[in-house]
């Protein structure tokens, strides 16, 4: 209700009497009905009644003063209201500006922090990419080095083949030549060149070993780099976790903002409800005022009687009413102004309605944003899955590296074990040799001499290879076979054992060898003159000797004869010191030698030519001890052969000028040696002196001869040791296989336990979501408010979708667990098979190497070949592992690219989130503006009510004052 001048002073005040006074009282009551209680109205009625009586006697001057004071009071009130509203608007605008500045500053700070974190992540990703590039470059360098090593190996093989071809050509050339002296000089020169080549080859092998060591160092560096990369990946995972935490915090903040917005909406709804309640109260008060109007009408009837008395005075007031009409016009203009203000208020109401619509649209946007947040949650879950897969790939890569390190360590341990076993075997061989010597002495005391018959039988040839260390020009022999025949060796296992007899095995009947027979065995390298020495001792041409660079004696031969009143048995065996001999061939030759001289030779004649040393004696000492044992030296006489080469010097001078290896051989044989001129056979005393020296040696020995039984026992012990080594190796292999299976089963169990934990977590989440869904369904059923019910239904739908997503994730985890289990089992099976193959190969190589070390130490070439094969296999495995590593790196790069792509999508989503956040801020600002305006309007209404009360109080006092 607007307070106007027309309501206070109607034109008919002085014309209608009591009815006109009723028209005055009605509007006044309607004005006070907004702010005054019923008790105040009652007192007001009495005041107005007294005022009306005063107006009957009011003068014109008093009337003008009263009207002027009322106008000034109204203008003053309008100015004060405008000033109060303006100040409140300014304060609200300032508060809004400060809040906007604070929020903008917070947004800028957060954006700056996000940019810094993104820069840090980018730098770390660049570091990881650089490290990966470095690893790839190092892998390329390793490949290039492997290629270089392979090229060096091929070059070495080509050179070896060239050397072999060259050797064949030399053999063919030497078979065709007749002039031995000229060819010997040529051959010496070629041998020197060959020694140089061998030295160069040894240097190359040393360089290759150095390269292998460098490669191991590079591998160690690569392992260190992989460890560093692992640490960087762990740091990156930590950063991602921190980023996830930040995202969760941001989501929590957004959730809080959403809740605040809902609270604000609820406050607006409450405010609307309060307005409706207030309207109801106003309607109630109007109804009550209507009842009061009825009471006033009853009183008006009483006043009509008094109005009749005022009719006469009304005429007087007509002139004054004209003045009042002019002022009423002014008041009507002011009413128009107030109506315009009412229009403004209506427009504001419309704006409020439009803003309500805007708020509804913002609610829809918030719902869309919730959907986007759900999609973002899904993306984050996918990112988590990708990160888990990447971690699993990194773990697999680390497992491969650890397995590789373990394989290297196991190989180092195997090498150490082999060295230790070799040392133990050497010690065991020494013990066996001492035991063999003891047994030989005991058996020789029990055995007697027996006669033998020579039966060389049909001998199957076995191809013999020459050694790179043995010169083919140790000539001086003549051959009893065709020189065009290929180099063959007899298979001693197919030779019939000759008749064994001539000696008693009783230790109590030691018979002098001169009474029965004397069994001698000729030993020596190819070209040492064994055949010529045998012919000289027997005094006839039993073996055809000729100058040849190859072995004249291709098979073991036995010859008998009477020399110097003694029955003499002479056995010539091929060169048993050749490193090209296989283990089986060497055993067959030694066994055949002992059987042809059964029950055992009285003496071994080690034939060495009298000529400048060429290093031929090197390794002979160890080879003899490996073949025959320590007891060999008790039955050995060194026979120096020459063709008038000692005319200018004695044999003692030759020995003093000889090599250290030759002097060691003489010392080992007890300084028993004899010089034999194989050219001048007429010098008969040299053979008888040799036989006397042999008889003297036999008489001084406890064991009369070297027995085959002793050799057989030594061989049995060696085979027993080999069996023991094989058993120990098999046990170790089984133990390592068992450990590997246990480790693989443990890894499988750990992986399954980890995946089970993830599945249990997902199941717990699903149960939580199910409970949440049930709770929401219950709330939907119980909720009566349609809007809240729709909100609960939307939330229920979101929870259901999340539960379905969690169930799908759980199913994927189960499938992944099953796939990982199958893959791990397959990988474990392949690793066990590879380990079995490696162990079998290593066992074969190691067994052959140990046997060679036991029986034939100089077969290092075969060992080097085996080591080369093992190294190639190891290189192949390393290349395979490197290829797998590169494949894993490629997969990691692909995953990184996908991660970058997803990060880009996440950045886009963050931008969308930022826009949504900005929209939310705008909504909040609009909501705060609306709330503030509502508060201002409420305050304005309260101020208006207070002002109306003040006007009422002042006007009442003014009326009373005027009445008084």
CA quadruple 741, 742, 743, 744: dihedral positive or negative?
Answer: positive
Over the stretch 542-571, which tens digit does the pLDDT of each residue have? 765 544 444 445 566 788 888 887 888 888
Q: Rounded distance, CA 235 to CA 299, Å?
A: 94
Domain coverage including residue 770 = 726-840
Q: Rounded distance, CA 83 to CA 89, Å?
A: 10
- Give me the pLDDT at residue 540, please: 80
Say yes or no: 777 and 656 in one domain.
no
Say yes or no: 668 and 531 in one domain.
yes
Q: At residue 806, what are phi and psi to the nearest 5 degrees?
A: -65, -40
> Does some domain include residue 546?
yes
Domain boundary among 817, 840, 863: 840
Say yes or no: 535 and 676 in one domain.
yes
Q: Quick one: which H or E segment has residue 535?
A: helix 530-538
Domain count, the chain: 2
- Give me the pLDDT at residue 714, please: 53
Q: Rounded distance, CA 739 to CA 733, Å?
A: 10
- Give me the pLDDT at residue 444, please: 62
Say yes or no: 483 and 541 in one domain.
yes
Q: Rounded distance, CA 704 to CA 696, Å?
A: 11
- Give me the pLDDT at residue 514, please: 39
Classified as helix, coil or strand, 609 is strand
Q: Which residues contact 792 (CB under 8 A, 6 or more apart)?
A: 776, 779, 780, 783
> Does some domain include residue 78?
no
CATH code of residue 470: 3.40.50.300
Q: Rounded distance, CA 35 to CA 289, Å?
A: 12
CB atoms inside a 10 Å sphere around CB 749? 10
Say yes or no: 685 and 754 in one domain.
no
Q: Which of 88-97, 154-163, 298-307, 396-405 has the highest mean pLDDT?
A: 88-97
* Tokens matching residue 579: 């490193």
With 70 as the cut, is the pLDDT of residue 931 above it?
yes
Pairing of the two strands 557-563 and 448-450: unpaired
CB atoms inside a 10 Å sphere around CB 242? 11
Say yes or no: 681 and 746 in one domain.
no
Residue reference for tokens 């061998």: 198
* Tokens matching residue 352: 């409020």
Among 92-106, 244-258, 314-328, which is the least confidently predicted range?
314-328
> Is 881 exposed, middle or buried (CB count within 10 Å of its CB: 0-12, 13-18, 19+)?
middle
Q: At residue 521, what are phi and psi to the nearest 5 degrees?
A: -120, 130
Among 418-432, 542-556, 694-708, which is the least confidently predicted range?
542-556
- Give me the pLDDT at residue 187, please: 64
> Does some domain include residue 232?
no
* CA neighbor of 677 nearest in space, from 518, 514, 480, 476: 476
The pLDDT mean for the chain works out to 69
- Whether the Cβ atoms of residue 465 and residue 578 lie closer than 8 Å to each other: yes
Write 845-852 long-range contacts (CB < 8 A, 24+): 845/869, 845/870, 846/418, 846/729, 847/722, 847/725, 847/726, 847/729, 848/583, 849/418, 850/418, 850/421, 850/422, 850/425, 850/722, 850/725, 851/583, 851/722, 852/583
- Whether the Cβ atoms of residue 722 and residue 850 lie closer than 8 Å to each other: yes
- Whether the Cβ atoms of residue 533 and residue 606 lie closer than 8 Å to each other: no
Read off the pLDDT of each residue in 661-682 and give the average, rounded to a whole number: 81
> Does some domain include residue 445?
no
- Give me the pLDDT at residue 467, please: 33
Say yes or no: 482 and 564 in one domain.
yes
pLDDT band (50, 70, 90) for residue 857: very low
Q: Rounded distance, CA 656 to CA 672, Å?
A: 15
Read off the pLDDT of each residue in 271-279 and give the average, rounded to a whole number: 73
* Beta strands per DSSP E along 224-380: none
Over the stretch 897-919, which tens digit does the pLDDT of each residue have? 777 776 677 677 677 767 777 77
* CA neighbor of 877 nearest in space, from 943, 941, 830, 924: 830
Q: In what order do the strands lie in the sheet with 566-572?
A: 557-563, 566-572, 517-523, 603-609, 636-642, 673-677
With 70 as the cut, is the pLDDT of residue 470 above it?
no
With 80 as the cut, is the pLDDT of residue 389 above it?
no
Task: Find out whether the peptide bond into 599 is cis, omega within 30 degrees of 0.
Answer: yes
- Give me the pLDDT at residue 47, please: 57
Q: Rounded distance, CA 874 to CA 866, Å?
A: 12
* Tokens matching residue 838: 């490696």
* CA neighbor of 740 nearest in space, from 415, 398, 416, 403: 403
Q: Which of 66-75, 110-119, 495-504 has the highest mean pLDDT?
A: 110-119
**3-state helix vs strand vs coil in the chain, percent to 5:** 80, 5, 15
Say yes or no: 699 and 822 in one domain.
no
* Tokens matching residue 456: 């060389």
Say yes or no: 642 and 599 in one domain.
yes
- Give me the pLDDT at residue 183, please: 64
Percent of the chain scoring above 70 in pLDDT = 62
Q: What does the DSSP 8-state code read for residue 542?
A: S
Residue reference for tokens 């008888």: 688
> Does some domain include residue 766?
yes
> Does some domain include residue 288?
no
- Give me the pLDDT at residue 503, please: 36
Q: What does the DSSP 8-state code read for residue 546?
A: -
- Give me the pLDDT at residue 170, please: 63
CA quadruple 253, 258, 260, 261: dihedral positive or negative?
Answer: positive
> Does some domain include residue 447?
no
Say yes or no: 699 and 782 in one domain.
no
* Beta strands per DSSP E along 144-255: none
Q: Which is more confident, 861 or 785? A: 785
Q: Rounded distance, CA 809 to CA 377, Å?
A: 13
Say yes or no: 479 and 621 in one domain.
yes
- Give me the pLDDT at residue 716, please: 65
Domain boundary among 676, 706, 736: 706
Maximum pairwise Cα distance, the chain: 202
Q: What is the pTM of this model?
A: 0.29
- Whether the Cβ atoms of residue 535 and residue 513 lie closer than 8 Å to each other: no
pLDDT band (50, 70, 90) for residue 42: low
- What residues does 673 pair with on adjacent strands? 638
- Give me the pLDDT at residue 9, please: 41
> Helices 708-782 and 583-596, interaxial angle, to 10°?
160
User: b or e along 826-859 (b: 16 or more beta carbons within 10 Å of the residue's beta carbon)?
Assistant: ebbeeeeeebeebbeebbebbebbbbbbbbbbbb
Over the stretch 487-544, which tens digit does the pLDDT of each residue have? 333 333 333 333 333 333 333 333 333 335 788 888 887 777 788 888 888 878 776 5
Q: What does the DSSP 8-state code read for residue 634?
A: G
* Tokens matching residue 551: 């072995």
Pairing of the two strands 566-572 and 673-677: unpaired
> Does some domain include residue 736?
yes
- Give me the pLDDT at residue 33, please: 43
Say yes or no: 700 and 559 in one domain.
yes
């Amino acid at each position: 209700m607007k307070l106007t001048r027309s309501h206070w002073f109607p034109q008919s005040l002085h014309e209608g009497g009591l009815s006109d006074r009723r028209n005055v009282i009605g509007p006044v009551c309607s004005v006070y009905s907004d702010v005054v209680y019923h008790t105040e109205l009652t007192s007001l009625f009495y005041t107005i009644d007294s005022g009306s009586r005063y107006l009957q006697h009011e003068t014109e001057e008093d009337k003008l003063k009263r009207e002027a004071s009322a106008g000034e009071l109204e203008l003053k009130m309008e100015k004060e209201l405008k000033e109060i509203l303006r100040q409140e608007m300014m304060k609200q605008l300032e508060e809004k500006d400060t809040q906007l500045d604070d929020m903008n500053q917070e947004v800028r700070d957060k954006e700056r922090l996000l940019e810094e974190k993104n820069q840090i992540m980018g730098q770390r990703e660049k570091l990881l990419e650089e490290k990966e590039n470095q690893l790839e470059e190092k892998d390329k360098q390793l490949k290039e080095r492997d290629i270089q090593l392979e090229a060096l190996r091929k070059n070495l093989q080509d050179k070896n083949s060239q050397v072999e071809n060259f050797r064949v050509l030399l053999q063919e050339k030497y078979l065709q030549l007749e002039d031995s002296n000229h060819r010997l000089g040529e051959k010496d020169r070629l041998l020197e060149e060959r020694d140089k080549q061998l030295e160069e080859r040894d240097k190359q092998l040393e360089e290759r070993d150095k390269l292998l060591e460098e490669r191991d160092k590079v591998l160690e560096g690569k392992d260190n780099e992989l460890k560093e990369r692992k640490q960087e990946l762990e740091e990156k995972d930590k950063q991602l976790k921190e980023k996830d935490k930040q995202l969760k915090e941001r989501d929590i903040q957004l959730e809080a903002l959403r809740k605040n917005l809902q609270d604000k909406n609820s406050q607006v709804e409450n405010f609307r409800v309060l307005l409706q309640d207030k309207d109801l109260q106003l309607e109630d008060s109007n109804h009550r005022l209507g009842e009061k109007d009825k009471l006033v009408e009853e009183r008006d009837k009483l006043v009509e009687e008094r109005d009749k008395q005022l009719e006469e005075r009304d005429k007087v007031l007509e002139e004054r009413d004209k003045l009042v009409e002019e002022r009423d016009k002014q008041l009507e203009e002011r009413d128009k102004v107030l109506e315009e203000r009412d229009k403004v208020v209506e427009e504001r109401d419309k704006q409020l309605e439009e803003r309500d619509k805007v708020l509804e649209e913002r609610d829809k946007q918030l719902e869309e944003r919730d959907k986007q947040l759900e999609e973002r949650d899904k993306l984050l879950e996918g990112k988590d899955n990708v990160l888990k897969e990447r971690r699993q790939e990194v773990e697999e890569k680390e497992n491969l590296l650890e397995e590789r390190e373990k394989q290297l360590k196991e190989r180092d341990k195997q090498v150490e074990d082999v060295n230790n076993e070799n040392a133990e075997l050497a010690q065991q061989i020494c013990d066996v040799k001492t035991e063999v010597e003891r047994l030989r002495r005991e058996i020789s005391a029990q055995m007697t001499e027996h006669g033998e018959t020579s039966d060389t039988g049909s001998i199957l040839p076995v191809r013999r290879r020459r050694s790179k260390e043995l010169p083919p020009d140790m000539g001086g022999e003549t051959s009893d076979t065709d020189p065009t025949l290929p180099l063959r060796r007899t298979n001693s296992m197919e030779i019939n054992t000759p008749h064994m007899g001539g000696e008693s095995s009783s230790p109590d009947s030691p018979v002098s060898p001169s009474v029965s027979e004397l069994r001698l065995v000729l030993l020596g390298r190819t070209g040492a003159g064994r055949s010529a020495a045998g012919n000289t001792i027997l005094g006839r041409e039993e073996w055809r000797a000729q100058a040849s660079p190859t072995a004249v004696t291709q098979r073991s031969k036995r010859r008998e004869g009477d020399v110097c009143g003694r029955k003499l048995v002479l056995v010539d065996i091929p060169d048993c010191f050749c490193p090209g001999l296989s283990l089986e061939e060497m055993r067959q030759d030694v066994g055949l030698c002992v059987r042809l001289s059964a029950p055992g030779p009285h003496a071994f004649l080690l034939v060495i030519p009298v000529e400048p040393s060429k290093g031929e004696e090197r390794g002979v000492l160890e080879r003899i001890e490996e073949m025959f044992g320590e007891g060999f030296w008790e039955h050995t006489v060194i026979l120096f052969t020459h063709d008038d080469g000692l005319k200018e010097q004695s044999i003692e001078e030759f020995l003093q000028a000889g090599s250290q290896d030759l002097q060691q051989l003489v010392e080992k044989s007890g300084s028993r040696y004899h010089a034999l001129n194989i050219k001048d056979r007429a010098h008969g005393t040299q053979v008888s002196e040799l036989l006397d020296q042999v008889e003297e040696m036999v008489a001084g020995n406890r064991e009369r001869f070297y027995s085959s039984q002793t050799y057989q026992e030594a061989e049995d012990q060696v085979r027993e040791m080999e069996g023991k080594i094989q058993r120990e190796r098999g046990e170790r292999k089984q133990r390592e296989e068992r450990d590997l299976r246990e480790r693989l089963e443990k890894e499988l169990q750990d992986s399954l336990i980890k995946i089970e934990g993830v599945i249990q977590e997902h199941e717990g989440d699903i149960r939580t979501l199910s409970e949440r869904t049930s709770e929401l369904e219950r709330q939907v059923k119980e909720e009566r408010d349609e809007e809240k019910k729709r909100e609960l239904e939307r939330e229920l739908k979101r929870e259901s979708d999340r539960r379905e997503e969690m169930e799908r994730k759980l199913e994927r985890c189960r499938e992944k667990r099953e796939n990982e289990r199958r893959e791990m089992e397959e990988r474990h099976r392949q690793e066990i098979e590879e380990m079995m193959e490696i162990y079998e190969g290593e066992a074969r190589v190691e067994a052959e190497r140990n046997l060679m070390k036991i029986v034939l130490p100089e077969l290092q070439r075969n060992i080097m070949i085996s080591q080369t094969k093992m190294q190639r296999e190891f290189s192949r495995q390393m290349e395979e592992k490197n290829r797998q590593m590169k494949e894993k790196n490629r997969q990691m790069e692909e995953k990184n690219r996908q991660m970058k792509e997803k990060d880009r999508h996440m950045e886009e989503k963050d931008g969308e989130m930022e826009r949504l956040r900005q929209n939310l801020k705008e909504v909040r600002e609009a909501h705060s503006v609306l709330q503030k305006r509502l508060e201002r309007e409420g305050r304005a209404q309260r101020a208006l009510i207070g002002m109306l009360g003040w006007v009422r109080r002042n006007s009442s006092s003014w009326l009373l004052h005027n009445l008084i």
